[in-house]
Structure 1
Amino acid sequence: MPSNFPIAALDLAIIGGYFLIVFAIGYVIAKRTETGDDLFLAGRSLAWGAIGFSLFASNISSTTLIGLAGSAYTTGLAVSNYEWMAGVVLVFMAIFLIPFFIRSQISTIPEYLEKRFDVRSRKYFSALTIFTSVVIDTAGGIYAGTIVIQTFFPDLIPAFGPELDFYTVCFILALIAGIYTAAGGLAAVVYTDIMQAVILIIGSIMITYYTFEQFDFSWAQATAQLPQGHLDLIKPIDDDSLPWLGTLIGVPILGFYYWGLNQYIVQRILGAKDLKNARWGAMLGGGLKLLPLFIMVLPGAFAYTLYPELPNGDMVFPTLVTDLLPVGIVGIVLAGLVAAIMSSIDSTLNSASTLIVIDFVKPSKPDITPEDTARIGRYTTFTLMLFAALWAPQIREFPGIWDYLQQMLSFLVPPVVAIFLLGIFWQRVNGTAAFGTLLGGHVLSLCVFLLSTDGLIFENAVIDLHFTIIAGILTFLCMGLVVFFTLATDEEPTAEQLDDLTWSGRAVEVKEDLPFYQDYRIQAAFVLSLTVAMLVVFW
């Protein structure tokens, strides 16, 4: 990455204006945030537009912007399979999961597990989610954001040495996100996300425009010098970046967990004012997730022709910004970059705080008032903010462990996905089967992780498969565990554990007389049609 990147006064003014608006939104919303429901679920008042844009913004981090362009530069378009798969998963959610989540009035995803199974699965999954949210997502967002800030603003804190520099920037990012998240809660996160999503989209479109301009807006010229298969979404089975089998059986599993069971994403849907807005918001989010291929991935692929000698893919995004964008546009793009940083940090902070208070504090203090719940939630947010800010700089010292933690998501997800899917579609699954699968599945995942990672037990891994393929295989094995434990126990779920919590026990939906464009099924068909068209073009 460039080590020195002078920022024009106009660009700095645009970035400064962004921060002022963020704080203004946080201040206004904080004055209306009084109860725990306000803090964690925006008073269950979110409309579909806010939900959809927030889903998009909370998912796009600084590492996503840089990583998508970098991966497209080095390996091609296949990296965008994670992006468009979100639309497919959100359609599945709108049909099969969201009705259960909204009607049961849950505040956290683990709470659904207690309603459907028992408290053991809820506590286990909640603790797991808190760990990954704080240690991986929040701290990782702060760490990556600090690297980006130091890259583009090397003289941000010139009075201090480089070590204090890094810690200082980490705390500044955490503090800014922590203040408006603790003050305004989910509402502040969502409404700042709307602005951040717009800035992200505009900034990415600008990069795409000026990149394509280098080829006189000619597709033939832009693609003429790219390597064979660089623009293919589906890669051979032996591809190191993302083989087709991983796209088929692994990416949907990871996507289902991320978009359907990850608290910091689904919390926006749980805060919807009703089922219709929840579904509409999911469809908007799914549609928006088709954009990254065109406005974030393709510029990175085209950069292969413009800058063939870059030493690594991480330099693509800053190089495009440095070389191609005029003053003013740079400010918009960098504001979008800062927006991505803040959105990922504030989202994970709010969700982790929600899980701690709703899943652990409130059950132990059932008489706690809504106002006290909000107060404890704010204290929890600040505590998590400080922990994440302290942990983030340590990531530099443990690059191997950090890589393992990131990859571990492929091993942590399968048991959770298995019990949710079978628990919704098979009424026979009981609490013991669910908890047994969580424990047994993660023991199995740990064994496979040790056997598939070089240098942990064996110098060369015994299992040599792409992590997405491993995720798919482990999920099928964990489904087998669910079936085994279910049939091996005599425990029968109660009526309360089945009614409107499983597909067979769902409440019949009342058909409403809505215009065709408000029918979520039509919207879902539209999102899937666009996805299929994109796959046909870039297969």
Structure 2
Amino acid sequence: MKGLDTIDWIVIVAYFFLLLGVAWWVIRKKQENTEDYFLAGRNIGWFMVGASIFASNIGSEHVVGLAGNGAGDKMPLLIYELHAWIVLMLGWVFLPFYARSGVFTMPEFLEKRFDARSRWILSIVSLVAYILTKVSVTIYAGGVVVSALLGIPFWIGAVATVVLTGIYTVLGGMRAVVYTETIQAIILVLGAGILTFLGLEAVGGWGELKETIGPDYFNMWRPNSDPDYPWLPLFITSTVVGIWYWCTDQVIVQRVLTAKNIKEGRRGSIFGALLKLMPVFLFLVPGIIALGLKLQGKLHWDSPDEAFPVLMSNLMPSGLRGLVAAGLLAALMSSLASVFNSCSTLFTLDIYKKLKPEKPEAELVKTGRIATFFVVGLGLLWIPIISRLSDGLYEYLQNVQAYISPPIAAVFLLGIFYKRINANGAIATLVGGFIIGFSKLTLEILKSNFSEGSFLFNLADINWLVFGAYFFALCIAIAVVVSMFYPAPTKQQLAGLTFGTVSQEQKATNKNSYTIWDIIISVAVVLIVLYIMVSFSTLAL
């Protein structure tokens, strides 16, 4: 792997001075109230909302993990990158309910739809989920990328990424995160796009790549008898995880809540959906190219997770290599910054403020900053567990999310679409689901300690995609059955928070918040997703 030269370092330093300059400009602005610190004053336009959604999503699991999938024969996991249609659901289906409720956080929305207990539970579950997935994975990948690019030990790279990100996140709040993410998204798209072009040229074109690797390699759909990626459980579980991540998760939803109004928020989600189509070409394809070049004897790497940084360091010219390296580091930082800010938002507004309602706004902002440091520490402690759960970073992330997302997705979907679901049904689903999901995760970690063929071993050995699909069905059943044993919510409780309770005035306001072009672009996104699904199937081979 080629090292960075003087020009590369100059570009990297200049880029980070730009980011820190933007962050400093934001920090100097007054941020003494929670709305400004956590939601950027709810005054962000659609372009920055969409870019922020994209940059929040494109972090470690894409830079390192998605390219690793392309290089490591895990093409079925491509389906997780075809969730642009679910991003559209955020803007068209979920956002109007969130915006009408005027909430800061997703647990706060559950309190309005159900009761205070559900807010407490979701807050705690979400914080645990962030530590197990977003924080630890992003820090881990940050260490991988930084150590590969800069030639320094893994842990030094990981800690350095955390410290630099933490400084501007803690001081600048949500506005600093959104502004820096917009810059990072632009640089990353341009850099990765150039790398894909150079990679295809080096491997001899798309046709030569297919011939080198074999056309069957590109098929993302495997039979239901496949032990690793059966297509139906893959589709169901990935959709459940997608709804949880894109439509109910604080990190992503917080971006659309920063918008000036529903119109800007929806257009931001549509723009985010368009950008979400790019990772297939920006990260997965370079991973496949890296494998093709390795088979041709033109490139060498040991682990699939090294494919992207090795490809970049060998193909990019001086200067441009430094810019893309900076973009990669910035992508890791933006993903981490998003999680830091969302964790501090959840802890401060859904836990600390409930315990200390008399605290002034300035005190709450200070508490949010302190909470960030504790979340980072817990994330660092979880990193050694990652390698025990999966041999690939991206698969680890989807694996854990398959155990966390079903109860949350079930409660939000039923809460918005089904008036009969009540607080007790939601509580039973969240608590029961958390216990079941965490138990399965624990069994997987301890799997090597069980004798093969024993009950616990067989339970731990259940395919995570199959488990995720049945787990979601069970969560739906728990919510519905438990709700039937208790009175239905009143119309006053549900007003404007679920389908069937939206007033004519609210419907008219929502209708005025979009145009025919919003509809056309949304339909185009769905058609592109279907086209990619067909292209990466045996139908096209």
Change (3 A) 1:450 1:342: closer
**Cα distance, 1:56 vs structure 2:** 0.9
Which residue number in structure 2 is paired with residue 523 of structure 1? 521
Residue 227 of structure 1 aligns with an amino acid whose one-letter code is G
Q: Find out whether 1:497 has 2:493 as its counterpart.
A: yes
What is the CA-CA distance between 1:441 and the residue it aligns to? 2.5
Alignment partner of 1:418 out of 402, 410, 419: 410
Give the corresponding residue for 2:467.
470
Partner of 1:130: 127
Aligned with 1:353 (options 344, 355, 371): 344
Q: CA–CA distance in 1 between the matches of 2:10 and 2:317?
A: 15
d(CA) in 1 for partners of 2:528 and 2:373? 42
Secondary structure of 2:359's aligned partner: coil
Check conservation: 1:134, 1:384, Cα contact below 8 A. Answer: yes
Query: Bigger shift: 278-287 or 507-516?
Result: 507-516
Alignment partner, residue 483 of structure 1: 480
Amino acid at match of 2:275: L
Q: Distance in 2 between matches of 1:450 and 1:16?
A: 43
Unpaired runs of 5+ residues, structure 1, are 156-164
Map of 2:293 onto structure 1: 306
Shift of 1:296: 1.4
Query: Take 2:136 and 2:125, find their aligned partners in 1: how far apart are those partners?
Result: 15
Matched, 1:269 2:256: yes
Task: Name the residue aligned to 1:146.
Answer: 143
Contact 1:62 1:338 in 2 (8 A): no
Instruction: Give the direction of change, closer, same or farther, for the CA distance of 1:378–1:74 in structure 2 (3 Å limit).
Output: closer
How far apart are 1:184 and its partner, in Å?
Answer: 1.5
Native 8 Å contact 2:199 2:315 kept in 1: yes
Q: Does 1:288 align with 2:275?
A: yes
Q: Structure 1, residues 348-399: CA drift from partner, whole Å, max 9, x if none?
A: 11000000110012223333333332232223334434x25xx526623774
Q: Which moved more, 1:256-265 or 1:307-316?
A: 307-316
Partners of 2:136 and 2:382 within 8 A in 1 = no
Q: 1:445 aligns with which of 437, 440, 456?
A: 437
User: Does residue 209 in structure 1 map to residue 201 in structure 2?
Assistant: no
Structure 1: how far apart are the matches of 2:315 and 2:77? Answer: 24
- Mapped to 2, the partners of 1:430 and 1:210 lie a distance apart of 55
Cα-to-partner distance string for 1:44-88 (whole Å, 9 max, x where unaligned): 111111111111111112342121112112215333210112x12
Q: Deviation string for 1:421-449 (max 9, x for gaps)?
A: 11111111111111012222233435555
Q: How does 1:301-380 map to 2 (within 5 A)?
A: 301-308=288-295, 310-380=301-371
Residue matched to 2:231 = 244
Instruction: State the distance in 2 between where 1:448 and 1:397 align.
Output: 15
Distance in 2, Cα, partners of 1:514 & 1:246: 35
Q: Secondary structure at the match of 2:82?
A: helix
CA contact (8 A) 1:72 1:298 kept: yes
Give the aligned partner of residue 408 of structure 1: 400
Pair 1:286–1:458, CA change in 2 (3 A): farther
Structure 1 residue 513: deviation in Å?
8.5
Distance 2:133 2:442 in 1: 20
Give the match for residue 396 of structure 1: 384
| Structure 1 stretch displaced more, 98-107 or 294-303 | 294-303
CA distance in 2, matches of 1:317, 1:123: 40
State how far apart, in whole Å, the 1-side matches of 2:234 and 2:382 are: 33
Q: Sort the Cα spacing of 1:146 and 1:80 in 2 relative to 1 into closer, same or farther, 3 A.
A: same
State the AA in 2 paired with 1:195: I
Report the Cα distance in structure 2 between the residues aligned to 1:504 and 1:239, rounded to whole angstroms.
Answer: 42
Q: How far is the alpha carbon of 1:222 from its aligned partner?
A: 2.4
Does the alignment pair 1:195 with 2:191?
no
1:44 to 19, 23, 42: 42
Instruction: Tell which deviates more after alignment, 8-17 or 299-308.
Output: 299-308
- In 1: Cα distance, 2:496 partner to 2:385 partner: 48
**Aligned-pair CA distance for 1:107:** 0.5
Equivalent residue, structure 1, for 2:63: 65
* CA 1:474–1:466: 2 relative to 1, 3 Å: same
d(CA) in 2 for partners of 1:172, 1:446: 31
Would the aligned equivalents of 1:96 and 1:503 in 2 still touch at CA under 8 Å?
no
376 and 420 in structure 1: CA distance in 2 versus 1, 3 angstrom threshold:
same
Counterparts in 2 of 1:217-256, with a 5 A limit?
218-239=205-226, 242-256=229-243
Higher mean Cα deviation, 437-446 or 480-489?
Answer: 437-446
Q: Does 1:109 align with 2:106?
A: yes
Instruction: Tell me, in whole angstroms, the C-alpha distance in 2 between the residues paired with 1:45 and 1:241.
Output: 45
Q: What is the aligned-residue RMSD (CA, Å)?
A: 2.4
CA distance in 1, matches of 2:148, 2:75: 26
**TM-score with structure 2 setting the length:** 0.90
How far apart, CA to CA, are the structure 2 residues paired with 1:479 and 1:397? 30
Compared CA separation, residues 433 and 24, structure 1 to 2 (3 A): same
Q: 1:536 aligns with which of 528, 531, 534?
A: 534
What secondary structure is seen at the aligned counterpart in 2 of 1:75?
coil
1:24 correspondence with 2:21: yes
Matched residues in 2 for 1:115 and 1:523: separation?
33
String of CA shifts for 1:236-287, please: whole Å, max 9, x gaps.
2244553311332110001111111211121111111111111111111111
**What is the distance in 1 between the residues matched to 2:427 and 2:451?**
31
- The amino acid across from 2:224 in the alignment is I
Aligned AA (1:211): G
Deviation for aligned residue 1:473: 1.3
Letter in structure 2 aligned against 1:500:
G
Residue 11 of structure 1: aligned partner: 8
Cα contact 1:36–1:373 (8 A) shared by 2: yes
Per-residue deviation, residues 88-130 of structure 1 (Å, max 9, x unmatched): 2112222221111111111000111111111111101101111
* Whole-angstrom CA distance in 2 between matches of 1:398 and 1:53: 29
In the alignment, does 2:172 pair up with 1:180?
no
Structure 2: where are the runs of 5+ without partners? Answer: none
Change in 2 beyond 3 A, CA 1:398/1:516: closer
* 1:162 aligned partner: none
Residues 306 and 240 of structure 1, relative CA distance in 2, 3 Å threshold: farther
**2:502 paired residue number:** 506
Partner residue, 1:459: 452
Structure 1: how far apart are the matches of 2:225 and 2:76? 13
Secondary structure of 2:216's aligned partner: coil
Paired letter, 1:365: K
- TM-score, with structure 1 as normaliser: 0.90
Distance 2:140 2:451 in 1: 31
The one-letter code matched in structure 1 to 2:358 is: D
Deviation at 1:311, TM superposition (A): 3.9
Q: Which moved more, 1:144-153 or 1:306-315?
A: 306-315
